[in-house]
């Protein structure tokens, strides 16, 4: 399981403390039993498993090589534009950028991954680069939490592996602990963050100036997340035990002690955000996902690594409450810490995918299987885990930054059960990464799992964790340079040696301040389920695990939305005509406009295509009509408010010509008129050509060039519908409007629907999509380089490949089952080709006085203030640098059916 080893009865060893465990951990017997019972369904051959192992290595090489070639020494690779992300030179992404400290983050985070993947020469070279190039004293404000788990953890993991390779020979013979020296320097730079009365660390610190100096530009924060304060103990304790300096472990323990004291005593749960000075809970929702996740993980792993039973007691206390209140199999839902029977939200975030793996470490296998199966079915539906998804498994937040937590739990469940089912789950992860995320310069995060559009982002944790877990999933023991069982994984999957539990024990025992202030007597009941019990987990039924999974799979497969439950037509009233309801209103319906006039409601068309509604009761035809007008306006406001919470359905512009081959997908906004791409199974595919004039606001002068192609136009000077009509008359089969606001990007500005012109737009039959400036520049630069650029306009990206992209057929209709196999929360199968109703913080806020009309739905176009003005355009050389050398690799990959 990569967390335990036999320590021959050494003090503090894990197995010696487990109630009912023998001298070696009970998992040994557990694995033997399950391997003998795992012949259910298809068993993956050793040859197939080795092919997947080699595929992991090839994918890692593709990502790591592109980082080193195009980004290093920058912190991260931007895989769409083939350059490094340097903080301050790119538009700010808010808190996401707090992980970037100008310390070659991806290289440091990836050190021990190189060793795990049996690349000792590359590891040795990477260590030399870190020692030569990385500086830790940059004048930059960073996240204490992210810097700890990624950089300090990366340095300590590299040090741990270097010692192991040096011990086993012949590698790293020159190494004298230089990474540990850097780790201690970084630890000292992080220590001032703990200078609070509570002991909870500040969330951010300046690497050069600390907190207090005027140059620090930080130190005024009052709040931090529970995971941010509670995920320090492994790295800080390891640093103390490696160096013999107790201050680091002391500060991390002090923070954990404070969090434990501030738990809600009735529910034994902790909130998500806490005031670092007063200890008051700022956010009182509690779950196992974002904001709390690794706090629970570190309590249990601190017990494993450090041998302090107090950590296990605290974890078991929390775990009991988690299973009582938060776990609603197969779901894990946030609750209020003071009212734990009351759900705090109706959606889950993808970070909770680590929890089945932690349950394996705990030994509670059944709920781990259930939750993992639920997550697996979500990935089958959406290809990846969306950042957040609802209890009926529709998209809530559509992004997926290539997070590794699902792969992590898949690995641990396979280690615990030996069930080849989890090898197949791992294979699906590889397939989806290659099919949807792979681009010529690495792997790009998914901006929207529904459309398959990309974000110019490849986080360091993708290299540090994803490939490590997947390689271990498919590798044999002989494929590893060392015994992985001798290490514990941190939350960033860095390796810390288990022998630290017996290191420098003398100072820990004599230094009273390093111990928790009080240690309550251990309750034996807290040790239930502390190690796997094969008799309880897998009774004499070889289909036990399959029987656990089947109900969850059945819920996902058989349930779908009931379209008949959508809004129905209003019932007629005693009037000569039924009252006009806001949900039925269409701005281009003459009868509806007459009804508005009788109700005293004026319709004003703004120059940018938006529609403004104003009511004057005195202008109504009668008092009854005035009442109807007031009700209509109130309904419209409510409808607008409701649509604030619903994300605009995005569209995709996929570049399918060489050298892209469908591997670059851009997020686009739809139009209120023209072909609805969500109802087109094939989309519209064609070569791109610039319209003349470029704004498309007058009769096109290059009709021969545009005929049968997709017209590229610039925003501005006229209505969107007018542009569409001009290029359609010229024979274009589609249109793309590129924002004229230089630097705007879908990363920082919300999408919007292009409005009509207040007239009937039934004559417009071609699709029209909108691209922000950054995304549009990619197509413009490609045109300059290759002259012929072919794109596919669709509701979501199609299969990648050199062959023509085949149109996907819509899924067959399904009907909701009458029996949901006893699971209360239903996972609804999407029967409408990805048209989900969802909420997303990126959706534009709608105002009742500033409405557009799409059929019966009001929408609004964002104002200029929503558009990013910091970005810069880049030449095609920077975008396509060295891409050609990757084309043959893609061809070979496809020939090998990777």
C-alpha Rg value of the chain to the nearest Å: 29
Q: If we measure between CA atoms, which residue out of 301, 319, 303, 320 comes closest to residue 311?
A: 303
Cα–Cα dist 490/400, whole Å: 22
Catalytic residue among 405, 448, 486, 757: 405
Q: What is the dihedral of CA 603, 609, 610, 613, to 10 degrees?
A: 0
User: Which bin fits 201, alpha (ψ -120 to 50), beta or left (φ > 0)?
Assistant: beta
Buried b (16+ CB within 10 A) or exposed e, 342-358: ebbeebbbbbbbbbbbb
Catalytic residue among 146, 392, 830, 861: 146
Cα–Cα dist 186/180, whole Å: 10
Angle at 624 between CA 620 and CA 627, to 5 degrees: 80
Cα–Cα dist 62/203, whole Å: 34
Q: What is the dihedral of CA 598, 602, 603, 604, to 10 degrees?
A: 160
**368 is written with which tokens?**
């781990």
Catalytic residue among 285, 387, 392, 861: 387
Beta-ladder partners of 858: 853
- What residue has token string 């590794």? 404
Q: Tell me 264's DSSP state.
A: B
Cα–Cα dist 52/48, whole Å: 6
Say what angle helices 309-321 and 293-306 make with each other, to 10 degrees.
Answer: 150
**417 is written with which tokens?**
């059960």
**296 is written with which tokens?**
């629970």
End-to-end CA separation in angstroms for the chain: 27
- Does 455 participate in catalysis according to the annotation? no
Which of helix, strand or coil describes residue 594? helix
Phi first, then psi: what are they for 364, rounded to 5°? -100, 85
**301 is written with which tokens?**
């792993």
Q: Tell me 210's DSSP state.
A: B
> In terms of DSSP H, where are the helices of 71-119?
105-116
Which of helix, strand or coil describes residue 654? strand
Instruction: Give the number of other Cβ atoms within 10 Å of residue 277's Cβ.
Output: 14
615 touches 600 (CB < 8 A) = yes
> Is residue 396 within a helix (H) or strand (E), and if so which, with residue range?
strand 395-397
Q: Is 700 exposed, middle or buried (0-12, 13-18, 19+ CB in 10 A)?
A: buried
203 touches 221 (CB < 8 A) = yes
Tell me whether residue 491 is annotated as binding.
yes
Angle at 514 between CA 511 and CA 517, to 5 degrees: 110
**871 is written with which tokens?**
């970005």
> Is residue 687 within a helix (H) or strand (E), and if so which, with residue range?
strand 684-690
Which of helix, strand or coil describes residue 453? strand
Bridge-based pairing of strands 734-738 and 710-714 is: parallel
Cα–Cα separations (whole angstroms), residue 453 to 125, 294, 378, 647, 875? 35, 30, 18, 15, 21
Beta-carbon contacts of 891 under 8 Å, excluding residues fewer than 6 positions away, are 802
Catalytic residue among 76, 112, 124, 293: 293
Beta-ladder partners of 852: 859
- Does 405 participate in catalysis according to the annotation? yes
Cα 70 to chain centroid, rounded? 24
Q: If we measure between CA atoms, which residue out of 479, 471, 451 comes closest to residue 665?
A: 451
Bridge-based pairing of strands 453-455 and 445-448 is: antiparallel
> In terms of DSSP H, where are the helices of 134-190?
144-146, 153-168, 178-190
Catalytic residue numbers, as ranges: 146, 293, 387, 405
Annotated binding site: 491
Annotated binding site for Ca(2+): 491
């Amino acid at each position: 399981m990569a967390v335990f080893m036999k320590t021959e009865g050494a003090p503090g060893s894990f197995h010696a403390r487990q109630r009912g465990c023998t001298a070696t951990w009970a998992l040994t017997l557990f694995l033997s039993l399950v391997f003998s019972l795992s012949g259910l369904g298809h068993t993956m051959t050793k040859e197939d498993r080795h092919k997947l192992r080699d595929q992991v290595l090839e994918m890692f090489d593709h990502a790591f090589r592109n980082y080193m070639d195009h980004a290093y020494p920058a912190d991260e690779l931007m895989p769409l534009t083939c350059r490094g992300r340097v903080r301050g030179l790119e538009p700010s992404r808010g808190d996401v950028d707090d992980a970037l400290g100008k310390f070659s983050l991806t290289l440091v985070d990836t050190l021990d991954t190189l060793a795990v993947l049996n690349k000792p020469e590359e590891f040795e070279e990477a260590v030399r680069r870190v020692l030569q190039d990385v500086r830790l004293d940059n004048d930059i404000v960073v996240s204490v939490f992210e810097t700890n788990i990624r950089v300090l953890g990366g340095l300590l993991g590299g040090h741990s592996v270097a010692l192991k390779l040096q011990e086993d020979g012949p590698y790293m013979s020159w190494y004298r602990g230089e990474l540990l020296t850097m780790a201690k320097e970084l630890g000292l730079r992080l220590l001032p963050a703990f200078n609070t009365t509570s002991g909870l660390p500040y969330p951010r610190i300046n690497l050069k100036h600390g907190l207090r100096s005027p140059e620090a530009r930080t130190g005024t924060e009052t709040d931090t997340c529970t995971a941010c304060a509670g995920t320090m103990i492994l790295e800080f304790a390891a640093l103390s035990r490696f160096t013999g300096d107790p201050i680091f472990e002391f500060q991390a323990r002090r923070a954990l002690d404070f969090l434990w004291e501030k738990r809600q005593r009735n529910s034994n749960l902790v909130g998500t955000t806490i005031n670092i000075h007063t200890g008051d809970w700022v956010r009182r929702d509690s779950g196992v996902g974002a904001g709390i996740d690794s706090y629970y993980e570190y309590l249990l792993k601190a017990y494993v690594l450090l041998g302090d039973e107090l950590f296990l007691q605290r974890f078991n206390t929390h775990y009991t409450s988690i299973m009582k209140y938060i776990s609603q199999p197969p779901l894990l839902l946030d609750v209020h810490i003071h009212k734990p029977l009351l759900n705090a939200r109706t959606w889950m975030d993808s970070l909770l995918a680590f929890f089945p793996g932690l349950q394996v470490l705990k030994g509670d296998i059944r709920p781990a299987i259930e939750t993992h199966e639920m997550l697996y079915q979500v990935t089958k539906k959406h290809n990846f885990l969306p950042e957040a998804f609802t209890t009926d498994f529709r998209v809530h937040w559509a992004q997926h930054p290539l997070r590794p937590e699902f792969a992590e739990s898949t690995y641990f469940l396979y280690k615990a059960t030996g069930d080849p089912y989890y090898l197949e789950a791992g294979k699906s992860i590889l397939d989806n990464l290659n099919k949807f995320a792979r681009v010529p310069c690495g792997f790009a995060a998914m901006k929207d799992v529904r459309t398959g559009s990309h974000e110019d982002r490849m986080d360091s944790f993708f290299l540090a964790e994803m490939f490590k877990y997947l390689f271990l999933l498919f590798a044999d023991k002989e494929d590893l340079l060392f015994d992985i069982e001798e290490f514990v994984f941190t939350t960033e999957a860095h390796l810390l040696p288990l022998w630290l539990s017996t290191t420098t024990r003398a100072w820990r025992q004599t230094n009273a301040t390093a111990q928790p202030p009080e240690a309550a007597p251990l309750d034996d009941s807290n040790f239930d389920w502390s190690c796997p019990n094969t008799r309880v987990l897998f009774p004499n039924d070889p289909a036990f695990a399959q029987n656990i999974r089947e109900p969850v799979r059945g819920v996902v497969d058989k349930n779908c939305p009931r379209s008949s439950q959508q809004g129905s037509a209003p019932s007629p009233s005693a009037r000569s005509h039924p009252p006009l309801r806001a949900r039925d209103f269409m701005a281009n319906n003459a009868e509806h406009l007459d009804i508005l006039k009788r109700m005293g409601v004026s319709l004003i068309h703004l120059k940018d295509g938006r529609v403004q509604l104003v009511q004057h009761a005195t202008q109504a035809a009668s008092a009854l009509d005035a009442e109807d007008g007031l009700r209509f306006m109130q309904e419209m406001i409510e409808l607008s408010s409701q649509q604030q919470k619903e994300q605009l359905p995005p569209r995709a512009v996929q570049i399918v010509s060489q050298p892209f081959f469908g591997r670059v997908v851009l997020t686009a906004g739809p139009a209120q008129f023209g072909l609805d791409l969500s109802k087109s199974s094939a989309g519209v595919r064609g070569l791109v050509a610039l319209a003349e004039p470029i704004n498309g606001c007058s009769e096109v002068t290059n009709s021969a060039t545009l005929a049968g192609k997709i017209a590229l136009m610039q925003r501005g000077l006229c209505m969107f519908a007018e542009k569409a009509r001009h290029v359609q008359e010229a024979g274009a089969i589609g249109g793309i409007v590129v924002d004229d606001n230089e630097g705007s990007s879908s990363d920082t500005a919300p999408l919007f629907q292009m409005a009509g012109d207040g007239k009937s737009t039934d004559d417009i039959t071609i699709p029209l999509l909108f691209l922000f400036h950054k995304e549009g520049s990619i197509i413009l630069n490609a045109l300059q380089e290759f002259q012929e650029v072919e794109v596919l306009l669709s509701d979501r990206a199609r299969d990648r490949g050199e062959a023509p992209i085949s149109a996907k057929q819509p899924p067959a209709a399904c009907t909701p089952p009458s029996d949901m196999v006893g699971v209360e929360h239903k996972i609804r199968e999407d029967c409408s080709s990805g048209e989900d109703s969802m909420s997303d913080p990126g959706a534009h806020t709608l105002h009742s006085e500033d409405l557009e009309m799409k059929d019966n739905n009001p929408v609004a176009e964002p104002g200029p203030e929503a558009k990013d003005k910091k970005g810069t355009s880049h030449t095609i050389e920077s975008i396509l640098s060295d891409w050609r050398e990757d084309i043959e690799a893609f061809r070979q990959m496809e020939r090998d059916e990777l």
